[in-house]
Chains A and B, each alone.
With several copies, the nearest count.
Chain A
Amino acid sequence: MSVKVLFFASLRERLGHGQVTLDIAEPLSVQEVWQRSSGEETLPANVLVSVNQDYADAATLVQLDDEVAFFPPVTGG
């Protein structure tokens, strides 16, 4: 079972990858998904996160087969 992790914009460029697939056996917090997918300790305060395309936070629990994304503040419009 796995979790798909996406990175966008300047964050993708900084980490050097746009997508990671994590094999997980049980639900993880967003914070743990960040550590395992980015190799960095703490989720930076200016990084936004979504789970299944809805905004979430570091404590949100990620289930098997969920899609998690990390990205910088948005600048559309």
Chain B
Amino acid sequence: MIQIELRATPFDPWQYLADWQAQQHQGNTHSGAAAVFVGTMRDFNEGDDVTRMYLEHYPGMTERQLDKIVADAVRTWKLDDALVVHRVGEIEPAQPIVLVAVWSAHRGEAFDACRHIMEVLKHTAPFWKKETLPDGSVRWVDGNTPLQRQPLA
């Protein structure tokens, strides 16, 4: 099973997984390995304190890209289940931003798939972070990821 969720409210990734596992994995005896990543908002970035953040996204395309990323990984690594939860909107320091969890028969596949989903998500899923500094000023976080299209001729 694949689940993708964008949410505008804070969540506890571990409680989320406990609930998901209780629903989906009751008595799951074939997935020997689960690999999980949780990305959390820090209160500093590029040398500055950050008091809060706004996470913009492209409704429709964001879900579509996440669906594709996860479906590709499920196919490539023959995953049993995969879950991605990503925050949007106003976020405060210490709040989780992203949860990626995958279940597989073997640990190598689980680790590889979880890391791959995170890397591709960071480089292609349409999200943009806008930070608020202690003096009230705001700035967009620079993307430092490779472009997805060829340079213009």
> Are B121 and A76 in contact, with the CB atoms below 8 A?
yes
Which size class do B's interface residues fall under? 35 or more
> Are A45 and B97 in contact, with the CB atoms below 8 A?
no
> Are B58 and A75 in contact, with the CB atoms below 8 A?
no
> Are B152 and A45 in contact, with the CB atoms below 8 A?
yes
Within the assembled complex, what's the spacing in Å between the Cα atoms of A77 and B42? 12
Chain B 53-73 per-residue mask, 1 if CB under 8 angstroms from chain A, else 0: 001111011001100000000
The residue from A6, A43, A73, A77 contacting B98, defined by CB atoms under 8 A apart: A77
The residue from B97, B118, B143, B152 contacting A74, defined by CB atoms under 8 A apart: B143
Report if A73-B144 is in contact (Cβ < 8 Å); known contacts: A49-B149, A55-B124, A58-B152. yes
Find the A residue at minimum CB distance from B138: A13
Find the A residue at minimum CB distance from B119: A77
> Are B128 and A8 in contact, with the CB atoms below 8 A?
yes
A48 within 8 A of B: yes
> Are A74 and B140 in contact, with the CB atoms below 8 A?
no
Q: Which of B10-64 contact A (CB under 8 A)?
A: 39, 55-58, 60-61, 64
Find the B residue at minimum CB distance from A12: B56
> Are A75 and B147 in contact, with the CB atoms below 8 A?
no
Chain A 50-67 per-residue mask, 1 if CB under 8 angstroms from chain B, else 0: 100111111100000000
Find the A residue at minimum CB distance from B55: A76
> Are A75 and B127 in contact, with the CB atoms below 8 A?
yes
Within the assembled complex, what's the spacing in Å between the Cα atoms of A6 and B86? 22
* B contacts, CB < 8 Å to A: 39, 55-58, 60-61, 64-65, 86, 97-98, 107, 118, 121-130, 140-145, 147-153
Question: What 16 additional pairs, Cβ within 8 angstroms, besides A56-B149, A73-B144?
Answer: A8-B126, A31-B152, A42-B152, A43-B152, A55-B148, A55-B149, A58-B149, A69-B61, A72-B128, A72-B140, A74-B126, A75-B128, A75-B129, A76-B97, A77-B118, A77-B121
* A contacts, CB < 8 Å to B: 6, 8-10, 31, 42-43, 45-46, 48-50, 53-59, 69, 71-77
